[in-house]
A and B are shown apart, each in its own frame.
Chain A
Amino acid sequence: MTRSVIEICAGLATGEFSSVEITQDYLARIALHNPALNCFISVTGELALEQARQADAVRAAGNAGALTGVPIAHKDLFCTDGVRTSCGSRILDNFIAPYDATVIEQFNQGGTVMLGKTNMDEFAMGSSNENSYYGSVANPWNLKHVPGGSSGGSAAAVAAGLAPAATGTDTGGSIRQPAAFCGVTGIKPTYGRVSRYGMIAFASSLDQGGPFARSAEDCALLLQTMAKFDPRDSTSSEQAVPDYSAGLGQGIEGLKIGLPKEYFADGLDSRIAGVIETAIDELRKLGAEIKEISLPNTGLSIPTYYVVAMAECSSNLSRFDGVRFGHRCEKPVDLEDLYKRSRGEGFGAEVKRRILIGTYALSAGYYDAYYLKAQQLRRMIKDDFQSAFDSVDLILGPTTPEVAFEIGAKTDDPVSMYLQDIYTISLNLAGLPGMSLPVGFVDGLPVGMQLIGNYFDEAGLLAAAHSYQQVSDWHLQTPGLTS
């Protein structure tokens, strides 16, 4: 069960198998492996089979689209009409979304089959998936290790072959870092490329949805369905969406790729550096022109991010108050008690930590020193990239400073956990697209390489990744799960 989306599309088109059959296969595999991996918060088997039957009917009627009948898993942060949407939190454990997110609507219109909702760090806050109310997810390459986060369930599900593709969201690296840790391909598009409507917000100015799959080729197909202007999201872009699959073959000959020296400095595991160097050599052989560049404000990205993201989340999470939906404490004595206990019981430790920090950063007397300062730094970080893209077409580096660490290794050290996002976070601050693809292993655990593109150059990223995947097979490796 390591079929790519492209292979499933081909199999469905030739009639090798039906959508119902392939869906049953995936549901069986989920039943077998999910107890150990914990990739899914909800498995929606009946709904999946119903959607698969419809897809088969659509295909029989000759109306199949590119993804009709393809099974997919959705991060449990996208609202799905009539299906529990927990966001990995106790506070939404009982929340049945009354509407579909735009991304879900687009996949439904495309005829895909939803296998279930994947596990994640609570409200997408985390880099290890250990912050989920539903428990940690195991990395399929080594069950003692984390899959990364926050979209850890989606990445692990694709790596383990529990789904051929999955959606994720990325606020500071939440698609790219778990993609790297699990050895799959994932892309975070330009801010505004994919609608945020129905995506439960963590940090509104940074959140962006994107796909996980086994290859750049698959990601191109999925992103085609996700990327669209949405009038319901004021930050959605009206920029035309190119044909990503058609652009895959453009090659990388003559492409100028910049290596930010700050991404290869202290803090990077030297073995990862070595793996990345080997991948760079491959790209050089393919005709890319490699040069060193500098992103001097890289070191400021983590403090900047943690002020901006926490300030926004402290406000975004105010609506979870026990009044209209979600967890409400037993027998509140008054309004304040209702708020305090519902939120106190409903939110986990990391979420509370971030709400408190964000509330502090926005408070009277601190706003200028924290929030405003962070906005200034954000502009500087963005300017770094802008000047870099004056001389290069793409930027390349490691996705993470380390490979997947052991479950529990960093839970008592939030700062060390936050440093996991050092290479990914600045893209969110700048709003740039980035992707991670597997380029090797360290200690039997996958290493991810990050490609960073200019605004709305998802096509360029996918094409470069595809070129590399044409001459490498890291993305075809699968973890040795029993059966």
Chain B
Amino acid sequence: MSDWESVIGLEIHAQLATVSKIFSGASTAFGADPNTQACAVDLGMPGVLPVLNREAVSMAIRFGVAIDAQIDRHSVFARKNYFYPDLPKGYQISQFELPIVGKGHISVSPGEGEHKEIGITRAHLEEDAGKSIHDQFPEQSGIDLNRAGTPLLEIVSEPDMRSAKEAVAYARKIHSLVRYLEICDGNMQEGSFRCDANVSVRRKGEQELGTRAELKNINSFRFLERAINFEIERQVDLIEDGGRVVQETRLYDAERDETRSMRSKEEANDYRYFPDPDLLPVTVSDEDIAQIRAGLPELPEQKKQRYIDELKLSDYNAELLTGNRDTALFFEATLAESPELSAQLVNWILGDLAGALNKAGLEISDSPIKPAMLTQLVARIADNTISGKIAKEVFDAMWQGEGSADDVIEARGLKQITDSGAIETLIDEVIAANPEQVEQFRAGKEKVLGFFVGQVMKQSQGKANPGQVNAILRDKLK
């Protein structure tokens, strides 16, 4: 394996979050009854004509500006001709020779401290097809055209990735970006964000690219990694056994964790692309682009740099926080009232909260602990109402839905004991009960102090202020 290098490029289809379809006024909402969101245009009725939804164009430009790409002032919709029952017109309206977004690039971080620049060849607008349903009618297939005409942005990368890990890092970065830009909801289960991978292998040092296979039907980042790794191994084994990779489309089967041949190049369609005469070329002015650029939200790279510069976060933590827009938004919401606690908040978000979410399989946007609740918890540690240890208990209680930090502290009586009289009483008791250890300490065994602190904390059920306990103990043991 170590003699081999893999070359990977991705084609990502991001469904644009427009209210209506790209060429008709029908709704794009997911999950409606079959064919209830398909109008005459989506059904490809005789005589109907497409009219471009400019919102889809704006969204494509947002993406192009964000990856520093050239935006074509003049792009053209073409027809991609092939027959399939879920393609009502017998052609898909797409962009071929003149896509709206030209060459761009994006920086990805495949591992801690690693950075790699990935080229983006182009991004073009097209309409989605409908869905064929093969399991509901005996001996017949059903067609649901609700999805037909949903706008897609197809983002084509250069073959710049050299491992499945890099490909996943790139896909995650694009996923994060389209959500930051609010142009795609990124839902992979519903098919709003789909990845196809072009994979080839070559011996290290070779300049020519090997023959590639296109992997389809990948609906999670985990599967993307597994599908690519399977395919790399398959191709290397094939060549080492004296075989030859053929150019083909392969489907990833998640259950068996393997890729299977779907169709070879010889069986591929000749799509007979030509400019769609029903649509005028799309023209974009410099003003349009300037306006869209001005309206862009803070992008992950900018956010990350700001966290490093202004909040003095580490590169790694800043990357983790900004990798997912919702995490960054959560962090910023917690920060709003207590900017001085940023370091502690970061630790809680990336530590306990991330762990709990991961364990429960929840997204941060669905977290039962809301930003304000976490802020309050951290504030209560800072103002010595509770100790860091008690805070974990409060966190768990909030996660279980017992209310805010203050609610939990109150209900469970977790407020820290800071009354030095009360602490002194506790300490006196502990000293009286352990004369042997008192002797040891006085004989110079400093470590025994920890034993006393532990005993006092135990007696106070963790509520005594550890700092105060420490100070008073030292005083009394002298």
Spell out A's residues near B (CB within 8 Å): 78-79, 85, 87, 92, 95, 97-99, 101, 196-201, 203-205, 231-235, 311-312, 314-315, 317-321, 323-325, 335, 339, 359, 362-364, 367, 371
Q: Tell me whether A197 and B44 are in contact (CB under 8 A).
A: no
Which of A99, A315, A325 has the most chain B CB atoms inside 10 A of its CB? A315
Question: Which of B68-76, B269-277, B432-440, B466-474 binds A?
Answer: B269-277
Interface residues of B in 189-207 (CB under 8 A from A): none
**Please, could you name 28 A-B residue pairs with CB atoms under 8 Å apart, sorted by A?**
A98-B40, A98-B45, A99-B40, A99-B45, A196-B49, A197-B47, A197-B48, A198-B47, A201-B46, A204-B277, A231-B51, A232-B51, A233-B49, A311-B274, A312-B277, A314-B272, A315-B272, A315-B274, A318-B81, A318-B89, A319-B44, A323-B143, A324-B143, A335-B85, A362-B272, A363-B272, A367-B273, A371-B274
Q: Tell me whether A319 and B278 are in contact (CB under 8 A).
A: no
> How many Å from the CB of B224 to the closest CB on chain A?
30
How many chain B residues have a CB neighbour from A under 8 Å? Answer: 28
- A199: chain B residues at CB < 8 Å are 47
Across the two chains, which residue of chain B brings its CB closest to A365?
B270
Interface presence of B448 (CB below 8 A): no
Known: A98-B40, A311-B274, A315-B90. A234 touches B280 (CB 8 A): yes
Known: A319-B44, A324-B44. A234 touches B274 (CB 8 A): no
- B379: chain A residues at CB < 8 Å are none
Tell me the bound Cα distance from A312 to B79 in angstroms.
10
- A205: chain B residues at CB < 8 Å are 277
Tell me the bound Cα distance from A198 to B278 in angstroms.
13
Across the two chains, which residue of chain B brings its CB closest to A371?
B274
Across the two chains, which residue of chain A brings its CB closest to B145?
A324
Known: A315-B91, A318-B91. A101 touches B47 (CB 8 A): yes
Interface presence of B43 (CB below 8 A): yes
Interface presence of B4 (CB below 8 A): no
Interface presence of B88 (CB below 8 A): yes
Interface presence of B373 (CB below 8 A): no
> How many Å from the CB of A372 to the closest CB on chain B?
9
Interface presence of B52 (CB below 8 A): yes
- A339: chain B residues at CB < 8 Å are 83
Partner of B88, one of A101, A203, A204, A319: A319
Interface string of B49-76 (1 = CB under 8 A from A): 1111000000000000000000000000
> How many Å from the CB of A338 to the closest CB on chain B?
9
Interface residues of B in 231-272 (CB under 8 A from A): 270, 272
> How many Å from the CB of A9 to the closest CB on chain B?
29
Known: A98-B40, A235-B280, A323-B143. A92 touches B83 (CB 8 A): no
- A362: chain B residues at CB < 8 Å are 81, 272-274
- B44: chain A residues at CB < 8 Å are 319, 324
Q: Tell me whether B90 and A204 are in contact (CB under 8 A).
A: no
Q: Tell me whether A324 and B88 are in contact (CB under 8 A).
A: yes
10 tightest A-B CB contacts, nearest first: A318-B90, A205-B277, A362-B272, A204-B277, A198-B47, A200-B46, A319-B44, A79-B47, A200-B47, A364-B270
Interface string of B32-46 (1 = CB under 8 A from A): 000000001001111
Q: Tell me whether A321 and B49 are in contact (CB under 8 A).
A: no
- A204: chain B residues at CB < 8 Å are 277-278
Interface presence of B357 (CB below 8 A): no
Tell me the bound Cα distance from A41 to B278 in angstroms.
28
Q: Tell me whether B43 and A324 are in contact (CB under 8 A).
A: yes
Tell me the bound Cα distance from A317 to B46 in angstroms.
9
Tell me the bound Cα distance from A204 to B45 in angstroms.
15
Tell me the bound Cα distance from A197 to B50 in angstroms.
9
Q: Tell me whether B47 and A319 are in contact (CB under 8 A).
A: no
Tell me the bound Cα distance from A363 to B271 in angstroms.
8
Across the two chains, which residue of chain A brings its CB closest to B141?
A335
Q: Tell me whether B90 and A87 are in contact (CB under 8 A).
A: no
Q: Tell me whether B49 and A197 are in contact (CB under 8 A).
A: yes
Interface string of B131-174 (1 = CB under 8 A from A): 00000000000010000000000000000000000000000000
Q: Tell me whether B48 and A198 are in contact (CB under 8 A).
A: yes
- B89: chain A residues at CB < 8 Å are 318-319
Partner of B45, one of A233, A314, A315, A325: A325
Interface string of B115-144 (1 = CB under 8 A from A): 000000000000000000000000000010
Interface presence of B381 (CB below 8 A): no
Interface presence of B188 (CB below 8 A): no
Across the two chains, which residue of chain B brings its CB closest to A317?
B90
Q: Tell me whether A363 and B81 are in contact (CB under 8 A).
A: no
Interface presence of B279 (CB below 8 A): yes
Across the two chains, which residue of chain B brings its CB closest to A100?
B47
- A363: chain B residues at CB < 8 Å are 270, 272
Tell me the bound Cα distance from A322 to B79 in angstroms.
21
Across the two chains, which residue of chain B brings its CB closest to A79?
B47
- B280: chain A residues at CB < 8 Å are 234-235
- A335: chain B residues at CB < 8 Å are 85
Tell me the bound Cα distance from A201 to B49 in angstroms.
9
Tell me the bound Cα distance from A201 to B273 in angstroms.
18
Tell me the bound Cα distance from A201 to B91 in angstroms.
14
- A371: chain B residues at CB < 8 Å are 274
Q: Tell me whether A319 and B90 are in contact (CB under 8 A).
A: yes
> How many Å from the CB of B89 to the closest CB on chain A?
5
- A233: chain B residues at CB < 8 Å are 49, 51
Tell me the bound Cα distance from A325 to B47 in angstroms.
13
- A312: chain B residues at CB < 8 Å are 277
> How many Å from the CB of B370 to the closest CB on chain A?
45
Tell me the bound Cα distance from A199 to B48 in angstroms.
8
Interface residues of B in 7-55 (CB under 8 A from A): 40, 43-52
Partner of B279, one of A234, A317, A324: A234
Tell me the bound Cα distance from A448 to B347 in angstroms.
87
> How many Å from the CB of B436 to the closest CB on chain A?
89
- B83: chain A residues at CB < 8 Å are 318, 321, 339
Tell me the bound Cα distance from A339 to B44 in angstroms.
16
> How many Å from the CB of A108 to the closest CB on chain B?
16
Across the two chains, which residue of chain A brings its CB closest to B80?
A315
Interface string of B351-362 (1 = CB under 8 A from A): 000000000000
Across the two chains, which residue of chain A brings its CB closest to B25?
A232
- B91: chain A residues at CB < 8 Å are 315, 318
Tell me the bound Cα distance from A340 to B91 in angstroms.
17
Tell me the bound Cα distance from A87 to B47 in angstroms.
11
> How many Å from the CB of B315 to the closest CB on chain A?
49
> How many Å from the CB of B84 to the closest CB on chain A?
8
- A323: chain B residues at CB < 8 Å are 85, 88, 143
Across the two chains, which residue of chain B brings its CB closest to A78?
B47
Interface string of B271-296 (1 = CB under 8 A from A): 01110011110000000000000000
Known: A79-B46, A323-B143. A235 touches B278 (CB 8 A): yes
- B47: chain A residues at CB < 8 Å are 78-79, 85, 97, 101, 196-201
- A101: chain B residues at CB < 8 Å are 47
Tell me the bound Cα distance from A268 to B404 in angstroms.
94
Which of A87, A320, A321, A364 has the most chain B CB atoms inside 10 A of its CB? A321
Tell me the bound Cα distance from A76 to B248 in angstroms.
46
Q: Tell me whether B278 and A315 are in contact (CB under 8 A).
A: no
Tell me the bound Cα distance from A341 to B91 in angstroms.
20
> How many Å from the CB of B24 to the closest CB on chain A?
10
Across the two chains, which residue of chain A brings its CB closest to B271?
A364
- B279: chain A residues at CB < 8 Å are 234
> How many Å from the CB of B35 to the closest CB on chain A?
10
- B88: chain A residues at CB < 8 Å are 319, 323-324
- A234: chain B residues at CB < 8 Å are 49-52, 278-280
Interface residues of B in 413-427 (CB under 8 A from A): none
| Sample of 12 further A-B pairs with CB below 8 A, known A204-B277, A364-B272 | A196-B47, A201-B278, A232-B49, A314-B272, A315-B81, A318-B81, A318-B90, A319-B88, A323-B85, A324-B44, A364-B270, A367-B273
Across the two chains, which residue of chain A brings its CB closest to B278?
A204
- B51: chain A residues at CB < 8 Å are 231-234
Across the two chains, which residue of chain B brings its CB closest to A322?
B85
Across the two chains, which residue of chain B brings its CB closest to A233?
B49
> How many Å from the CB of A222 to the closest CB on chain B?
20
